[in-house]
């Protein structure tokens, strides 16, 4: 009997969700209702009871967006995200339940850990993109073991220059350094461009009217993977350049 | 343990000084001793040969030193250590250390027992005291002070501050100290974070704050972002063995340089020189030159001039180390010094003009030091107590874990699972499986530190997952959740991902006291019947013997069919001898026979395990059929 009611209510949840998000419901199994252990009120999965303010048991499949009360959209106003994190943090943090029962304290602890992890995941566009792939059953590493071809040449040349720099002496040092510094500027500009591409990819996901369209989804996934993979390589490259130049300065 | 309700007090359990503070309405205030008016309690504990304890000034009065007596002569006086009682200073330096982590210069200063054990113990006569037990005495003294200052008040729940860079073991040892003092430690708060609370920085609309906390024994740097009452630590760094004590020791080594090492390390002389050095250092914050005079009987007199410039030479290497830590913290926070909007100075060592100068140079702005650097941490602890009592709902403190946490993987490599400067509470779930067919246990070794190899990191704990049913390699899937709570302390839980069953995890900490040991110490403290060391060890040996004998009797009754005639005779013969020995007092004999019996019964125990697994499998297949 109770399961029937749960079904009806959770369907209305997904409808409301779709309305708020402006796109059709994401294909995932309907969330089950949970019951607040403190006041027994049944409700949608969330971190804090909307009736008594106690921490709720976290369903293992609660996603990062829901944890922060955000619609499942990739374009995120990070200022609003931080405000939501702080507001929820104030309510659920173990500091609020120092005199609570051990159950309530344990729930507040696991809820805060999940909230923080969700915030960290969504705050950074790269980790947000990677998480999005995961939600779509995709993984970056699987098809992207090699260096992206467009970057291969740059990556290898810079690695060579850095290695030369380690062995160089005299005038060659200054020359190599200036070359590497130029490379760094180029790489930083490319990274900026990629970040803009990532933001555009995010908008297309959010605007995509029907995520059931397998072909359209495949295109978006492929593009997202390519951008993220290039960003990952560029970040490593920039880190290596900075380390190389840092060592030079220290020496 | 009993949990209390009611008011929460804030305690700064410092290396050199300790304080207790409370909220009075909206205002945090330090509670002074009503008799002396002193708000600072020196963190010095004296334990007399008969077990009597003195804390603070009373302990300093019996510290071994050279003193002018009524006869007009200089004499060695005080508790000289070992059988003559002990006076422990800076006990915080030893919190959470294993016996093997005690530095040689500390071994010259105190007598330790158990230098190979998981926890360092100070020897006093026939007894041994852990750093947590000694810290508990300081906490008790603070509790009594607060209860005397506030007639009718009961101090039962506290917030205790710890250096931000304290590792898991040091935090656990601090919590243990609270428990041993009969207090509920509601929260451990990092000292620099507490200081930022005391400064009322929540009034800042938004800003980045660097808290430079240079105390007697520890150094911390924390970089915070403060926004609308939310204190978010971005990065923290430090050194839990770097403080004013080190500068004092450098002065002592210079002052006593001409004496042979054996005399230099003589406790009366070293302590007297240390006091002179500390006084000189303090004086040189206001004046440019001072004199150190040390009379050593019978006829040695040391007299040296010390200028501020010379002191700064001694201090420079230590201050440089603090600045390097600041750079690392800024790097982790991805900030430049110019991004910092306010710098806060905490800790007695920041009274040195050189420290202020260098910090100002580093951050390019004048540091805040309007609050007494000795009191600011205790005041902040009281503010956090207010937050925990629900009177400061506007504030939220988000701290970080100072050191990365990881597990040992193939080839002795440390695999990081929680990175340093991750906001706490935080949790990560890792899946574990087996490497060979029919493996029934998986060993997990948890580490803390930043080095690549497990052997270079600090061992936190070890535990075994299982027993699992024999299955092909790689089939079992056990999810282990590593949760770091708001105190920065690790909790481990495990779940069989295939059955959804919770696994119990018996985590054996690599250092520190086990829960049982703490319970035992509490019981001992309650009946005040402190046994001597030998007696304690005998009891431990007897308990071990009784446990193995009881287990053996049960196994022989239940699984007697699994043991052969000859084997059974050999086991019973050993068991008989152990039963006999256990009634006597020869501890070593008891321990040896226990070990022998353990070895002799291992094959038997393995057969019992196999049988149990087979039985479980049969039961399972029956269930699957039905």
User: What CATH number has the domain spanning B244-314?
Assistant: 3.90.640.10
Model pLDDT, residue A211: 62
Between A82-96, A185-199, B606-620, the lowest mean confidence (pLDDT) is in B606-620
Which among A123, A154, A188 is the end of a domain?
A123
The CA-atom distances, in angstroms, between B308 and each of B42, B315, B352, B362, B614 are: 26, 10, 10, 21, 77
Q: CA A122 → CA A82, A200, B225, B352, B525, distances in Å?
A: 10, 17, 19, 44, 51
Q: Are strands B230-239 and B396-398 parallel, antiparallel or unpaired?
A: parallel
Closest chain B residue by Cα to residue A85: B230
Interface check for B489 against chain A (CB to CB < 8 A): the answer is no
Average pLDDT over residues B210-225: 96
Q: Residues B378-393: what's their mean pLDDT?
A: 93
The shortest CB-CB distance from A86 to any of B230, B384, B387 is to B230
Is A28 a domain residue? yes
- If asked whether residues A107 and A185 sit together in one domain, one would say no
A105 at interface of B, judged by CB pairs closer than 8 A: no
Contact call for A113 and B398, based on CB within 8 A: no
- To the nearest whole Å, the CA of A207 is away from the closest chain B CA by 33
Contact, B255 vs B272, CB < 8 A?
no
Architecture category of domain B531-625 in CATH: Up-down Bundle (1.20)
Has residue A90 been placed in a domain? yes
Token output for B405: 């946490």
Q: Give the pLDDT confidence score for residue B620 in this predicted structure.
A: 56
Q: What are phi and psi of B413, to 5 degrees?
A: -90, 140
Mean pLDDT of chain B: 88
User: For B224-282, what is each residue's pLDDT tens digit?
Assistant: 999 988 999 999 999 999 999 999 999 999 999 988 887 888 888 999 999 999 999 99
Q: Report pLDDT for A236.
A: 84
In a domain, A139, yes or no: no
Would you list the domain boundaries of chain B?
A: 8-243+315-398, 244-314, 405-512, 531-625
Encode B168-205 in three state secondary structure.
HHHHHHHHHHHHHCCCEEEEEEEHHHHHHHHCCHHHCC
pLDDT at B510: 79
The whole-angstrom distance between A206's CA and the closest CA on chain B is 29
- Domain for residue A87, yes or no? yes
pLDDT of residue B295: 87
With CB atoms and an 8 Å threshold, state whether A95 touches B486: yes
Ranges A180-194, B1-15, B289-303, B606-620: which has the least confidence? B606-620
pLDDT digits (tens, 9 = 90+) for A189-216: 999 999 999 999 999 999 876 666 788 8
Q: Which of B39, B328, B103, B460 has the alpha carbon at shortest distance from B31?
A: B39
What six digits make up the tokens of B325? Answer: 């830590």
pLDDT for B535: 66
Proportion of chain B above pLDDT 70, given as a percent: 94
* Statement: residue A9 has pLDDT above 50: no
- Which residues of chain B make contact with A86, given a CB cutoff of 8 A? 227-228, 230, 396
Q: A110 to chain B: which residues are within 8 Å by CB?
A: 427, 483
Average pLDDT over residues B346-353: 96
Are A86 and B227 inside 8 Å of each other by CB?
yes
3-state secondary structure of B325: helix
Angle, vertex CA B60, rays to CA B521 and CA B91, nearest 5: 45
Chain B environment of A90 (Cβ under 8 Å): 230, 393, 396
Distance of CA A5 to the CA centre of its chain: 34
Q: Check residue A146 and give its pLDDT.
A: 63
Find, in chain B, the residue whose alpha carbon is nearest to that of A119: B423
Per-residue pLDDT averaged across A163-173, rounded? Answer: 82
CATH class belonging to B405-512:
mainly beta
Q: Is pLDDT above 60 for B205?
A: yes
Q: How far apart are CA B198 and CA B196, in angstroms?
A: 5
- The pLDDT-based confidence of A141 (bands split at 50, 70, 90) is low
Q: Any idea which residue has 């009993």 for tokens?
A: B2
| Confidence check: pLDDT of B9 > 80 | yes
Q: How far is A240 from chain B (nearest CA, A)?
A: 16
Mean pLDDT of B348-372: 95
ipTM of the complex: 0.78
- Cα–Cα distances (Å) from B21 to A95, B142, B164, B166, B217, in that order, read 19, 10, 20, 22, 21
User: How far is it, in rounded angstroms, from Cα A60 to Cα A81?
Assistant: 22
* Residue B14 vs residue B296, higher pLDDT: B14
Instruction: Indicate if the pLDDT at residue A233 is higher than 60.
Output: yes
- Give yes or no for residue A3 having a pLDDT over 60: no
Are A72 and A156 found together in one domain? Answer: no
- What pLDDT, on the 0 to 100 scale, is given for residue A10? 29
Q: Which of A89, A96, A113 sits opposite B427 (nearest CB)?
A: A113
Of A2-16, B73-87, B376-390, which one has max mean pLDDT?
B376-390
Q: Which residue of A has its CA nearest to B418?
A: A117
Confidence band of B305 (pLDDT split at 50, 70, 90)? very high
Residue A99: give the domain boundaries. 2-123
Beta strands in B201-299 (DSSP E): 206-214, 219-227, 230-239, 289-296
Identify whether the C-beta of residue B40 lies closer than 8 Å to the C-beta of residue B31: no
- Do A104 and A162 share a structural domain? no
Q: Is the CB of residue B387 less than 8 Å away from at least one CB of chain A?
A: yes
Model confidence at B328, in pLDDT bands (50, 70, 90)? very high
pLDDT tens digits for range B580-603: 998 888 888 898 998 899 888 888
What's the total number of domains in chain A? 2
- The domain that contains A217 carries what CATH number? 1.20.58
Domain end among A123, A158, A188 = A123
Would you say residue A164 has pLDDT above 90? no
Query: Looking at the domain covering B8-243+315-398, what would its CATH class be?
Result: alpha beta
pLDDT digits (tens, 9 = 90+) for B65-115: 888 877 878 878 888 766 778 899 999 999 999 888 888 888 888 888 878
Contact A96 B390 (CB under 8 A): yes
pLDDT value, residue B591: 86
Same structural domain, A86 and A151: no
Is A109–B486 a contact, with Cβ atoms under 8 angstroms apart?
A: yes
Q: Give the CATH number of the domain where residue A48 resides.
A: 1.10.287.110
Are A8 and A117 contained in the same domain? yes
Q: Specify whether A162 is located in the same domain as A107.
A: no
Q: How many CB pairs under 8 A join A and B?
A: 56
Task: Mark yes or no for CB contact B485/A89 under 8 Å.
Answer: no
Per-residue pLDDT reduced to its tens digit, B531-549: 455 666 777 678 778 878 8
In this prediction, residue B322 carries a pLDDT of 97
Q: What is the DSSP string of B113-161?
A: E-TTSSS-EEEETTEEE-HHHHHHHHHHHHHHHHHHHSTT----EEEEE
pLDDT of residue A15: 28
Rounded CA-CA distance B585/B581 in Å is 8
Chain A CB contacts of B380 under 8 Å are: none
- The pLDDT value given to residue A213: 76
């Amino acid at each position: 009997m109770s399961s029937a009611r749960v079904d009806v209510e959770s369907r209305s949840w997904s409808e409301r969700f779709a309305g708020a998000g402006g796109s059709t419901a994401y294909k995932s199994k309907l969330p089950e209702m949970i019951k607040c252990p403190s006041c027994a009120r049944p409700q949608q999965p969330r971190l804090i009871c909307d009736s008594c303010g106690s921490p709720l048991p976290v369903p293992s499949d609660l996603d990062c967006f829901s944890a922060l009360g955000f619609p499942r959209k990739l374009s995120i106003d990070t200022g609003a995200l931080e405000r939501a994190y702080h507001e929820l943090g104030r309510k659920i943090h173990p500091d609020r339940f120092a005199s609570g029962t051990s159950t309530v304290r344990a729930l507040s602890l696991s809820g805060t850990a999940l909230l923080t992890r969700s915030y960290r995941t969504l705050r950074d566009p790269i980790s947000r993109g990677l998480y999005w792939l995961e939600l779509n059953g995709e993984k970056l590493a699987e098809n992207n073991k090699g260096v992206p071809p467009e970057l291969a040449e740059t990556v290898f040349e810079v690695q060579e220059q850095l290695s030369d720099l380690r062995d160089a002496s005299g005038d060659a040092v200054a020359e190599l350094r200036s070359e590497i510094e130029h490379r760094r500027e180029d790489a930083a500009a490319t990274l900026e461009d990629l970040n803009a591409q990532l933001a555009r990819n995010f908008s297309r996901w959010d605007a995509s009217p029907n995520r059931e369209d397998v072909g359209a989804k495949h295109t978006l996934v492929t593009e997202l993977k390519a951008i993220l993979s290039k960003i990952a390589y560029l970040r490593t490259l920039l880190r290596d350049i900075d380390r190389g130049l840092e060592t030079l300065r220290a020496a | 343990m009993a949990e209390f309700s009611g008011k929460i007090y804030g305690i700064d359990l410092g290396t050199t000084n300790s304080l207790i503070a409370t909220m009075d309405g909206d205002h945090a205030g330090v509670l002074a001793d009503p008799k002396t008016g002193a708000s600072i309690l020196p963190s010095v504990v004296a334990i007399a040969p008969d077990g009597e304890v003195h804390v603070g000034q009373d302990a300093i009065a019996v510290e071994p030193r050279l003193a002018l007596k009524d006869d007009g002569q200089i004499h060695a006086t005080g508790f000289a250590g070992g059988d003559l009682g002990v006076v422990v200073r800076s006990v915080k330096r030893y919190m959470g250390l294993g016996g093997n982590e005690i530095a040689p210069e500390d071994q010259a200063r105190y007598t330790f027992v158990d230098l190979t054990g998981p926890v360092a113990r100070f020897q006093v006569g026939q007894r041994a005291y852990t750093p947590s037990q000694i810290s508990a005495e300081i906490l008790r003294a603070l509790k009594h002070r607060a209860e005397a200052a506030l007639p009718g008040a009961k101090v039962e729940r506290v917030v205790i501050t710890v250096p931000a860079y304290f590792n898991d073991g040091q935090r656990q040892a601090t919590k243990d100290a609270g428990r041993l003092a009969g207090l509920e430690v509601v929260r451990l708060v990092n000292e620099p974070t507490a200081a930022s609370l005391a400064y009322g920085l929540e009034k800042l609309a938004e800003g980045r704050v660097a808290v430079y906390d240079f105390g007697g024994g520890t150094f911390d740097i924390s970089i915070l972002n403060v926004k609308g009452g939310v204190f978010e630590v971005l990065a923290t760094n430090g050194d839990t063995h770097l403080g004013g004590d080190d500068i004092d020791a450098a002065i002592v080594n210079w002052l006593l340089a001409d004496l042979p090492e054996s005399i230099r390390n003589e406790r009366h002389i070293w302590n007297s020189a240390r006091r002179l050095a500390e006084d000189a250092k303090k004086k040189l914050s206001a004046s440019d030159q001072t004199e150190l005079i040390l009379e050593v009987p019978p006829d040695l007199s040391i007299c040296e001039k010390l200028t501020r410039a010379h002191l700064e030479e001694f201090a420079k290497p230590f201050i440089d180390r603090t600045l390097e830590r600041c750079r690392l913290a800024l790097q982790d926070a991805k900030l430049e010094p110019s991004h910092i909007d306010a710098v806060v100075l905490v800790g007695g060592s920041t009274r040195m003009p050189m420290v202020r100068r260098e910090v100002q140079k580093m951050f390019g702005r004048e540091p805040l030091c309007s609050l007494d650097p000795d009191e600011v941490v205790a005041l902040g602890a009281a503010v956090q107590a207010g937050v925990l009592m629900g009177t400061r709902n506007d504030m939220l403190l988000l701290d970080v874990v100072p050191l990365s946490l990881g597990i040992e993987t193939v080839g002795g490599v440390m695999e990081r699972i929680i990175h340093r400067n991750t906001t706490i509470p935080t949790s990560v779930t890792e899946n574990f499986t087996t490497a060979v067919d029919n493996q029934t246990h998986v060993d997990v070794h948890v580490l803390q530190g930043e080095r690549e190899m497990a052997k270079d990191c600090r061992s936190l704990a070890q535990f075994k997952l299982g027993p699992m049913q024999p299955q092909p390699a790689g089939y079992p899937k056990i999810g282990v959740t590593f949760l770091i709570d708001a105190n920065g302390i690790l909790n481990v839980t495990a779940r069989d991902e295939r059955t959804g069953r919770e696994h119990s995890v018996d985590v054996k900490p690599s250092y520190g006291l086990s829960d049982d040991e703490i319970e035992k110490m509490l019981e001992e403290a309650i009946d005040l019947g402190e046994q001597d060391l030998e007696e304690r060890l005998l009891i431990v040996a007897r308990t071990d013997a009784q446990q193995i004998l009881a287990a053996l009797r049960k196994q022989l009754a239940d699984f007697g069919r699994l043991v052969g005639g000859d084997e059974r005779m050999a086991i019973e013969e050993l068991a008989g001898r152990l039963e006999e020995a256990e009634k006597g007092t020869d501890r070593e004999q008891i321990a040896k026979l226990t070990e022998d019996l353990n070895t002799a019964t291992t094959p038997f125990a393995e057969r019992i395990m196999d049988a149990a697994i087979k039985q479980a499998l049969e039961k399972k297949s029956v269930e699957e059929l039905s």
